[in-house]
Structure 1
């Protein structure tokens, strides 16, 4: 006899566990299935551990400039064993918080791999013991993603890692090569360069952070170069080899039709992530489930996050698109609202993007170039944060705030920020876009002084 539920969520990352809580708050009997740790990739192998290590790296980098602000530091050093210990403490505390949240909301957590049998049944296979069959009204797939590794010869050599491996490393590579100039690559470049380790970046496209504003990429490139980072763009990796003494690695790549080589102690492959569906569908699944619409390994959904099988929904990285924890959370809450027959109120098209480099990067909406491609007439306001008092006194790197608004209505359409606390402040522009605010509307607000946020006021008032 199967246990009966209103909602079974497969995957306990930010999208999955938040959706489970949302369902419980709406009176649903909810089960949550997870074959690893609560919190998913974001908490255990992504956002949180990366930013925990970044915090240490940035403090260490600031200490190097101590004498210029009257701070004497002698023999400052980073102990990676202690950094890893601190990271694990943070993860343990946050996992405990999620477990408590599940208990408070009376959500039953099943440890094991969830397989969809049909639109009303999920089979859970624990590591030991027999499978458990769950009967449900709705199924929500939130199985996330895993690092994507292109077929590069030599990618399986010792010393070649993905973000998962680099996060667990107890020591640091002396010199790190990063294949991929996207968000993951740039954050690890920031960690290594802030700790005084040389970095080489190899990116196939014509610039780093190719999906963001060109000026952000240019600024970050200049900053990283000052920190002993060598950046190659428009470069295609051919192979990875062990060097002559057997201790280091050689990355061979083609740049401007010329074969080049970079040598390092370790190589990070940071070429993106792919949807994870391991064990989700098997031979025991019905034909309807095996025929579920998928595209390039990702699950296809409609505007309500519902798959081609009625009653089965999918959210987050497993659906492709924007691979961000907060996007998955919003999608999960929207999906549960649709299951409950409620109107979906969250604007899923306005998703802030953040990069935790130094300085931080925050973007939302469209850029001026994207507006031009769409035939939208816009005006752009830009404020240089070098004129901001808080930026100056805290010795921040070069940065700016750029705002894109409709030239006729002056409604804000997008914003790009590269400055201290950009990831905290970008939400103000997201709120402005969602609520149709104009430059004038934002200029009515009094911002405190001295703060980084008053740069927003200066940008909209220009």
Structure 2
């Protein structure tokens, strides 16, 4: 055992003894407002006789309680105000609380920083990054706005790399306003002589101030941040716009719409096409392709319904024409004309932040500068292409350029087994391509449960897709005869090669953050490349916000719209009220066949996060509509709080799963449990009945057995027989058994 370990054990033992002594002595019971009020007169007399002894003892006790994170600091603060008055009370408690907080940070650092840094390196690095980025102001913000109890801040900051001297003086300043509020409240309580005094203006004002303090502190922090910015950059005296939105995809369009709807002056800057990926290269074209592929598949499946037809003949250029026709039909919804009609100033060009309030716009005619109170970055993302040797020698297909294909690939190799890879791979196989799908992980759809991935893998295999799991792509090489290329892969220690005519890369997306001028302004990115924003979508610059794919963590169109509302409302009205974005009830659908739809937690995530749950499962093979349709594959799986009907998550695998998911999403959003879903009338025969049936399975597993036994006895009595067992005996006599 090392000397450091011995010292840690000794310190830990002393702290444990102090905790035990605190609670065994009943000190936690003494530190109540009633007790302190009852003993106030005695303390006042003692203070008059021995002021230094009382003040010194109070100081030491406060330091020890703060250092050991014992409960009662708030009441001691009130007592200090009542005993010493506002002036001396503030001085004593301010220094005692800061010294105790610093000792608590030192204890946490000595006991736990080294082992916790090894186990929770990622989480602590985020805090250390905030300290490096904003320095002492990061801690000052935490102190001034008490989102977390002070003792939690003491312990967490002790685990970081912040210098203790910095921790001390920042805590001394940051806690001072809050301490003053509570000391003043204690002083007012000390003057309370009767119940009528409760209604005194001073006391009421003190407690109103306690309630308003977090809001006031947030406003002060906001002002301080703006002044820090103003020292670095020249803030304009007047602004051209309230908001400039960079990016005209799903997030940018929704942000612009909301800002214009509340009569803010908003400019929307887009360098390519309005509508972004969703309209032009993502949701709309992919669903049009999926529909065409499904028609071809249904024609092949027609004989099972008694319909005899020939094999489908796929006219691939006509399929692509159908896809581009769908884009043109939807395009007016995202058009420049529509948004200008709503009051949005739409501009084409490249945007770059000159400073937090100035955005430069460069187009074919030159460059102009816009001033704005707030900037919302919604620049989206693009397909990630891995640095694979030999890849530069071929034209790689991605979800961006796939829609320019003119000839159906004979041999299509799909790299990536996520939602995009599964959707597109299955569609091209149904249109007639020989598809090989390579996934580095040991299952398709890595975010889903294994049983969900197994359903999709089985269907792809059934439809002729060559699925290669746990297979790593190494390099691209030409065929020996020069006709086409091969992808060299490794599965375990074994290398092999896969021939292809076209290679579709679907291994994820990376945020578009380059060229925006963010690095020069200190706006950082996360390890995955997305912009670093807080849960209100605010960056380190208080007037620069981000939403959509560029900020993550979910690169989905409806997630972008969800974020855009929060970013816009927080930007325009954040001084009054801010809204934290929540993904608890965010739905997601993989449009394979069968579809995979999910909201909330699945079993994998619940296990990883240590969340206890109960799983209820209903097979769609038992659903009347599924039987009639001839599509009985799939199931509904819901996670609930053990013993309760409150939903934690739901996963649906099957035809129309995305449409069925909406009811579970509504239930999670509005706090509706399975009992109420069971009591909701569903039309028959529909697939939505699976929701009610799943709730029925849960209810059957939680039926009140004791009540049912009493009911059985009650009905037996009503029929004229004493007990069910006696009735059974009489039946046995009658049958002669």
Scaled to the shorter chain, the TM-score interval is over 0.9
Q: Greater strand share, 1 or 2?
A: 1
Give, in angstroms, the shift of residue 208 of structure 1.
0.8
Question: Counterparts of 1:94 and 1:59 in 2: how far apart (Å)?
Answer: 21
Q: Which residue is 1:66 aligned to?
A: 302
Between the two proteins, the alignment pairs up a number of residues equal to 456
Question: Counterparts of 2:397 and 2:445 in 1: how far apart (Å)?
Answer: 21
Give, in angstroms, the shift of residue 345 of structure 1.
7.8
Q: Which residue is 1:52 aligned to?
A: 288
Q: Greater helix share, 1 or 2?
A: 2
Give, in angstroms, the shift of residue 72 of structure 1.
3.4
What is the aligned counterpart of 1:385 among 596, 617, 620? 620
Q: Which residue is 2:534 aligned to?
A: 302
Q: Does 1:247 align with 2:483?
A: yes
What is the aligned counterpart of 2:523 among 282, 286, 292? 292
What is the aligned counterpart of 1:117 among 332, 354, 357? 354
Query: Contact between 1:274 and 1:320, CA under 8 Å: does it hold in 2?
Result: no
Over residues 328-375 of structure 1, what are the superposed CA-to-partner deviations in whole Å (9 max), with x where a residue is unaligned? 111010111112324538643321111010111101111123223333
Query: Contact between 2:299 and 2:311, CA under 8 Å: does it hold in 1?
Result: no
Unaligned runs of 5+ in 2: 1-235, 698-737
Query: Contact between 1:376 and 1:406, CA under 8 Å: does it hold in 2?
Result: no
Q: Does 1:5 align with 2:241?
A: yes
Change (3 A) 1:305 1:75: same
Over residues 287-340 of structure 1, what are the superposed CA-to-partner deviations in whole Å (9 max), with x where a residue is unaligned? 4x2x11222332100111011111110011111311111111110101111123
Change (3 A) 1:389 1:193: farther
What is the aligned counterpart of 2:473 among 237, 248, 257? 237
Q: Which residue is 1:258 aligned to?
A: 494
Q: Which residue is 1:42 aligned to?
A: 278
Q: Does 1:416 align with 2:635?
A: no
Q: Does 1:106 align with 2:343?
A: yes
**Paired residue secondary structure (2:400):** helix
Question: Counterparts of 2:694 and 2:245 in 1: how far apart (Å)?
Answer: 43
Give, in angstroms, the shift of residue 390 of structure 1.
2.4
Q: Does 1:313 align with 2:545?
A: yes
Q: Which residue is 1:20 aligned to?
A: 256
After superposition, the CA RMSD in angstroms is: 1.9
Question: Counterparts of 2:608 and 2:537 in 1: how far apart (Å)?
Answer: 28
Question: Counterparts of 1:239 and 1:120 in 2: how far apart (Å)?
Answer: 46
Question: Counterparts of 2:392 and 2:479 in 1: how far apart (Å)?
Answer: 15
Question: Counterparts of 2:282 and 2:267 in 1: how far apart (Å)?
Answer: 25
Larger radius of gyration between Structure 1 and Structure 2: 2
Give, in angstroms, the shift of residue 199 of structure 1.
1.4
Question: Counterparts of 2:340 and 2:316 in 1: how far apart (Å)?
Answer: 35
**Paired residue secondary structure (2:240):** strand
Query: Contact between 2:246 and 2:270, CA under 8 Å: does it hold in 1?
Result: yes
Q: Does 1:327 align with 2:563?
A: no
Larger RCO, structures 1/2 (Cα 8 Å, 6+ apart): 1
Give, in angstroms, the shift of residue 240 of structure 1.
1.1
**Paired residue secondary structure (2:401):** helix
Question: Counterparts of 2:512 and 2:580 in 1: how far apart (Å)?
Answer: 28
Over residues 70-92 of structure 1, what are the superposed CA-to-partner deviations in whole Å (9 max), with x where a residue is unaligned? 33333532222122222222212
**Paired residue secondary structure (1:340):** helix
Q: Does 1:363 align with 2:594?
A: no
Give, in angstroms, the shift of residue 160 of structure 1.
3.0
**Paired residue secondary structure (1:160):** coil
Q: Which residue is 1:405 aligned to?
A: 640
Query: Contact between 2:588 and 2:599, CA under 8 Å: does it hold in 1?
Result: yes
